[in-house]
Amino acid sequence: MFQIPASRIARLATGLALLGLLPGPAAYAQSAPATITVQVNKPGAAVAKNMYGLFFEDINFAADGGLYPELVKNKSFETDDHLLGWKAIRGAAGLETYIISSDRPISNANNHFLRLSTKVAGPDAGFVNEGFRGMGVKQDAEYTFSIYARKGAGSVSGLTVTLEEARRPGAGPETPLSGQGLAQAKITGLTNEWKQYSVVMKPSATSGSARLKLTLDGAGSADIDVVSLFPKDTWMKRENGLRPDLVQLLKDMNPGFLRFPGGCIVEGITLDNRYQWKETIGDVASRQPMINRWNKEFKHRYTPDYYQSFGLGFFEYFQLSEDIGAEPLPILNVGMACQFNSAELAPITSSAAKGPNAAGHDANHAGEPTLETFIQDAIDLIEFANGPANSPWGAKRVAMGHPAPFNLKMIGIGNEQWGPQYLERYEPFAKAVKAKYPNMQIVSSVGPSPDGENFEKATLKMRELKAEFIDEHYYAKPEWFRQNAGRYDNYPRTGPKIFAGEYAAQSVAIGSPDNKNNWDCAISEAAFMTGLERNAGVVTMASYAPMLAHVDAWQWTPNMIWFDNLTSYGTVNYYVQKLYALNKGTSVLPVTMPGKAKNGTDNLFASAVTDAPTGDVIVKLVNYSTTPRAVKVNLAGAKKMGNSGKAFVMASDDLNTLNTIQEPTKLTPKEETFSVSGSNVSYTLAPNSFTVLRIPARK
C-alpha cells in the first residue's frame, strides 16, 4: 500500500482534460446510439477458470473478531499483556487477589494461566472478558462455553458463568449493568488437576455488546485457562468453524482462488513478527498468539489490543478454500520484513545460494532464521498441503482431519517486495521450490506500485527469469482506474502472466481514514476490469483488497465487506466483483467501436466474453456519465441467438452512494430483460451505470 503524490494526479488530470480525454461535469449527449461490435465468430484468449478471486489479510479484525468467531479475547492469557481483554471485578465481597502464573501449566506451549483467590464467597469474586468490541450473541442460539480449570486451597467448588449485557462504554466494573443477564451456567466438580469443562449456553435475548463473567463458587482459589465461548452455528457446523454469514458472502462470489494470509501480515514489521504457518496448525489451544502488525501502523486508527490468536490458521485457510470452491494461494515470506518498516533481512547462507552475498559459514547464524529456513518452510508447506499420509507434514494434515490432499497448485514468494535484496533471495528460493516440485506455479512480486523505476526494473528481471505470474497492486483515485482501462491492451502476449493481486479505488487518498466504498470508486473499478477481461490472455487472476473490516475496529478503508458483531453486508464494490465473477465466461470476444474510437472514449467502456457451457454471449458495459447512453450491440458472426436476454444493472445518479450497516442493500444489481433482434441488441444504459448483458444462444 503506497502513496501517489496528489500533485502528480492533479497534473495528469489537468492534462487529460485539456486534451479532451477526461470529461467535465457536463454529460455526453449522443444523437445516435454508440455502436459496439462484438466479434462472436472470432473468440480470443481463454478466460482463466480462477480469474476472479479473493484476497484475505488479517487487517480490520478480519480474523479474530470477524471470520473466526471465538468470542473471548485472549482466551489463554498468552498475549504480551497477559490480562488483555480481562478485568477483575472488585467489590466488598469481590476478588481478593489474582496473579498470572506458570506453575504447572497445561502445556509448555500454553504456559500462562489466571489464578483467582478470595477469602469470602460472593457473586463478584471473578473476572469479565470484553470480547472483540463486545460479544455478539443471538437469542436462543447455542454457544459452547469451555474452560480448563483446577481448584487450589480452600472450598471453591466450581465457577458461575454469566453472559450479560456489557456496561456502558467507559464505565468501570463497579458500575451497574446497562442491561440484563442473558444466560448463566455452572461449572462443578473441580479437582486438583487440570481438566476441561464445557456447557452449552443459550442467550435469552440478542445483543451485539455482551460480555462474559466468571466468578468463584466458594472461598479459596482456582486456576483457569483456555476460556472459550464459541457459537455452534458455524460454517458447515464445524467445531472450530467460521462465521457463516461472512463465508456465505464469499462463496456467493464464486471465487476462483483465495489468497492468504496477506498482505503485509506475511512480512511482519520485523522478521520475528512475520507470519509463520507452522505455528498456526495443530491443537488450537497450543497456538501461540502474536501481536498483529497492523495494531499501531496508523495513528488515526491506533489499535494496541489487536493480536492474532491463529485460531484461523493455515489448515483452516485450506479448508475454507475447499469449501467455497477456490484454489488456495498461500503467500510466503522470502526472508524479508516489510520494507516500509524495519526492512530486516534474513542472511543468505551458502546452503541456499552461491555468490557474493552468501554467508561464508552457516554456523555464524545459529539461532536466527536464514534464507534456508524460509525455503524449507515453503517446501514443508507444499508437503503439508499435498503430501501423502506417511510423509512428516502430510501426516499432520491427516491428524487434523483431512486425509485427502488439498491439491495446492501455486504459491507466492514474497509480498510487495522490490529491489536487489528481494531478487537475490527470490532466485534461490524459486529454484529450490521448482527442484522439489517442478509443477508448482510461483507468483512473483514487483513491489507495491504499478509504475516507477523499481517496478520497471523488477518487471524486466522477472521476464528475464521467465517468471510465471507477476503480482501487481493498484491503490489510486477513481480516475486512475478509468484512465488505465487500456493498461494491458498493448502488453506483450508472451512471458509472465499478470496477477492483479490487490486493487481498490481510493475516494480521498491512499491510506486516508475518510475513504468511502462509494459508487464512484466501484464504477471506476468496473471500468478498469473491462480492460482486465479484454486482456484475459495476459491477466489471469484479479482480487480486490482488503476483503473484510469490522465497523468498530478497522485500520484501513475502503474494504469489500463490512460487518459488526451480528450482521454483515457487501459494499457496492463487492457487487461489482460478484457480477464479474458470476459472468466470467470462458473465452474473450473482441470488441470494436466505429472509426478511431477506443474503449473509454466518452467514458463508455466495454468487454465481452462467450460462455461455452451455456452458449451465452456476455457483454459488460460501463457508462460513466450523467445522462443515459443508447448503445447498439452488434453480434458479428452470431448464429441463432435467443429472442431475449437478461441484464444485471447497477446505477446511481449520486456517485457518493454507498451501502452501510443501516442500509446494506441500498445499491445492488437489478435484473431486467431486453429484446434481441437477430444479431443486434439495442439498449439504453442508465447514467453512472455498470451493466452486464447476457444474450443466450437459441435452444
In a domain? residue 114: yes
Q: Within this chain, do residues 27 and 122 fall inside the same structural domain, yes or no?
A: no
| Greatest C-alpha distance within the chain | 91
Task: State the pLDDT confidence band at 167, using cuts at 50, 70 and 90.
Answer: low
List beta partners, residue 129. 86, 212
Residue 13: predicted pLDDT: 41
In this prediction, residue 330 carries a pLDDT of: 99
The tens digit of pLDDT for each residue in 17-45 reads 333 344 433 333 445 899 999 999 999 99
Do 103 and 220 share a domain, yes or no? yes
Q: b/e per residue, 455-480, with b = 16+ CB within 10 A? A: bebbbebbeebebbbbbbbbbbbbbb
Q: What is the mean pLDDT of residues 336-343?
A: 96
Residue 90 has pLDDT above 80, yes or no: no
**pLDDT for the residue 599:** 82
pLDDT confidence of residue 31: 54
CA distance 137 to 359: 55
User: Does residue 416 carry a catalytic annotation?
Assistant: yes
Given a cut of 50, whether residue 5 has pLDDT beyond it is no
Residue 4: pLDDT over 80 = no
The answer to whether the beta carbons of residues 226 and 76 sit under 8 Å apart is yes
Distance, in Å, from the CA atom of 240 to the CA atom of 64, rounded to the nearest integer, reads 13
Q: Using 50, 70 and 90 to split pLDDT, how confident is the model at 368?
A: confident
Among 175-179, 569-573, 585-589, the minimum mean pLDDT is found in: 175-179
Domain end residue (candidates: 231, 248, 276): 231
Q: Judging by DSSP bridges, how do beta strands 86-89 and 126-129 pair with one another?
A: antiparallel
Residues of the chain above pLDDT 70, percent: 90
Inside any domain, residue 328: no
Mean of pLDDT over the chain: 92
| Rounded distance between C-alpha atoms, residue 470 and residue 457, angstroms | 13
Angle at 101 between CA 64 and CA 225, to 5 degrees: 40
Q: How far is CA 93 from the centre of its chain?
A: 46
* Buried-exposed string 79-105: b where 16+ CB fall within 10 A, e elsewhere: beebebbbebbeeeebbeebeebeeeb
- The pLDDT confidence band at residue 16, using thresholds 50, 70 and 90, is very low
593 and 684 together in one domain: yes
Residue 170 makes CB contacts below 8 A (sequence gap 6+) with: none
d(CA 341, CA 423): 19
Last residue of some domain: 231, 262, 291? Answer: 231
Same domain assignment for residues 225 and 100? yes
**For residue 354, is pLDDT > 90?**
no
Who's near 613: CB < 8 A, 6+ residues apart?
A: 586
Provide the domain count of the chain: 2
The C-alpha cell 447512453 sits at 629
The reply to whether 592 falls in a domain is yes
Q: Is residue 22 domain-shared with residue 131, that is, in the same domain?
A: no
CATH number, domain with residue 174: 2.60.120.260
Higher pLDDT residue, 101 or 378?
Answer: 378
The SS3 call for residue 627 is: coil
Pairing verdict, β 561-563 and 126-129: unpaired
pTM over 0.75, yes/no: yes
Question: Looking at residues 372-392, what average pLDDT do you find?
Answer: 98
Answer yes or no: do 97 and 226 share one domain.
Answer: yes
Range of the domain at 99: 86-231
Question: Are 41 and 94 in a shared domain?
Answer: no
pLDDT band at 286 (very low <50, low <70, confident <90, very high): very high
- Confidence class for position 355, pLDDT limits 50, 70, 90: very low
Task: Please tell me the number of Cα atoms within 13 Å of 390 on its side-chain side.
Answer: 0
What pLDDT is attached to residue 359? Answer: 43
The last residue of a domain, from among 214, 231, 248: 231
Which pLDDT value is given to residue 93?
Answer: 60
Instruction: Burial-class residue 408 by CB neighbours within 10 Å (0-12, 13-18, 19+).
Output: buried
Q: Does residue 227 fall inside a structural domain? A: yes
Rounded to 10°, the helix 419-436/371-386 angle is 40
Measure CA of the first residue to CA of the last residue in the chain; give whole Å. 49
Same domain, 105 and 221: yes
Task: Tell me the CATH number at 603.
Answer: 2.60.40.1180
- Same domain for 691 and 632: yes
- Band of pLDDT at residue 122, cut at 50, 70 and 90: confident
- Tens-place pLDDT, residues 485-522: 999 999 999 999 999 999 999 999 999 999 999 999 99
Whether 503 is in a domain gets the answer no
According to DSSP, the β-strands at 644-651 and 629-636 are unpaired
Options 416, 468, 502, 525, the catalytic residue:
416
Distance CA 267, CA 547 (A): 18
Helix (H) or strand (E) holding 15: helix 6-19
Percent over 90 (pLDDT), the chain: 84
- Confirm whether 280 is domain-assigned: no
Q: Is a pLDDT exceeding 80 seen at residue 633?
A: yes
- Confidence bin at 279 (pLDDT 50/70/90): very high
Q: Looking at residue 155, what is its pLDDT?
A: 93
* Mean pLDDT within 156-173: 78
Residue 381 in any domain: the answer is no
Same domain, 23 and 131: no
Same structural domain, 106 and 36: no
Do residues 31 and 146 share a domain? Answer: no
What is the per-residue pLDDT for 120? Answer: 85
- Residues 621, 623, 624, 626, Cα dihedral to 10°: -160
Is the distance from CB of 640 to CB of 606 less than 8 angstroms?
no
Cα 183 to its chain centre, rounded Å, is 33
Residue 476 in any domain: the answer is no
Q: Could you tell me the strand order of the sheet in which 34-39 lies?
A: 591-592, 34-39, 629-636, 680-685
